[in-house]
Amino acid sequence: KALFEDAFVRAMAPWAKLNALRENSPYDAALGDVLKVAVMHRVTDAYGPIPYTQLGTGVNHVAYDTQEEVYRGMFMDLDRAIETLQELVNGGTATYLEDYDNVFYGNMAKWIAFANTLRLRLATRVAYADEALYQAEAEKALASAAGFIQEDVVLHPGAGAWENPIYVIEYNFNDGDAKAGATIVTYMNSYNDPRRASYFTAGSDGKYYGVRMGAAVDSNYPKSTLWSRVNCTNADPLKWMSGAEADFLKAEFFLRQGEAAAAKAAYEAGVKRGLALAGA
């Protein structure tokens, strides 16, 4: 419920105000379009049909779109945003709204690369539903001069009050009863993954333990010092996208094309980038 309501109240309501100013402030609206897609693709993937293509049109009762219509609408929004922001860069403006941007601090080339990476992400998600659409959008992303994000995309704490929602859920919600999941911890333990210290806190014995899904817990559960938690503080930035994601998405595309060598190279690049970004 919160995912749906917060997206429309906290993200789409401000976007609608930017959309209304599009004629006089096209670059502000274009940045809003990138954020619109970044927010709403999570909502449609959770709920399926949602209001999307008629947002900002002024109608009182916005109709729900099918998920296919939502995705096609998101691709159109990315087209418009990338084209508009590229015009800004081509005109000699490399930074824009830097005093209000806690993600890329006004770096327009990075915003365009982020939008292009979102395109490849969304294309991959429709691969089984519409192979032709996947092929067209993935090829468009790969052919774009914008390139892809190669660093973690994070929302940095700004001035004033800040709460990292992952920290709040992990350490404060329900008296901090959230713990790491056993599945991911077990996989990473099995491979002796060097990213564990970046992802999780170690238990009191220096090892990593996760809680099994659906496990019955007793009164000793919250008292145990062995369980691992997400390793974060309330002052940490909030990650939106991994810088390694585009490498893995490219690997899947090449694999589907039968280009095994290119797929292997992209996959290994993603592994190395992910390790480096985690400080491993």
Written as one letter, the residue type at 115 is A
Helix or strand or coil: residue 89? helix
From first to last of the 280 residues of the chain, give the pLDDT tens digit: 789 999 999 999 999 999 999 999 999 999 999 999 999 999 999 999 999 999 988 777 889 999 999 999 999 999 999 999 999 999 999 999 999 999 999 999 999 999 999 999 999 999 999 999 999 999 999 999 999 999 999 999 987 788 999 999 988 888 788 899 999 999 999 999 999 999 999 999 999 999 998 888 888 777 789 999 999 999 999 999 999 999 999 999 999 999 999 999 999 999 999 999 999 8
Q: Which tokens hold the place of 268?
A: 């290994």
- pLDDT of 117 reads 98
Structure tokens at 167: 């920290």
Cα gap 176→232, rounded to integer Å: 13
DSSP state of 230: B
Q: Which residues are registered as beta bridge partners of 159?
A: none
* Pair 52, 69: CB distance under 8 Å: yes
Residue 248 CB partners (closer than 8 Å, separation 6+): 266, 267, 270
Contact (Cβ atoms closer than 8 angstroms) between residue 267 and residue 275? no
Beta-sheet pairing, 238-241 with 64-65: unpaired
Residue labelled with tokens 């999570």: 42
Decide: pTM greater than 0.75.
yes
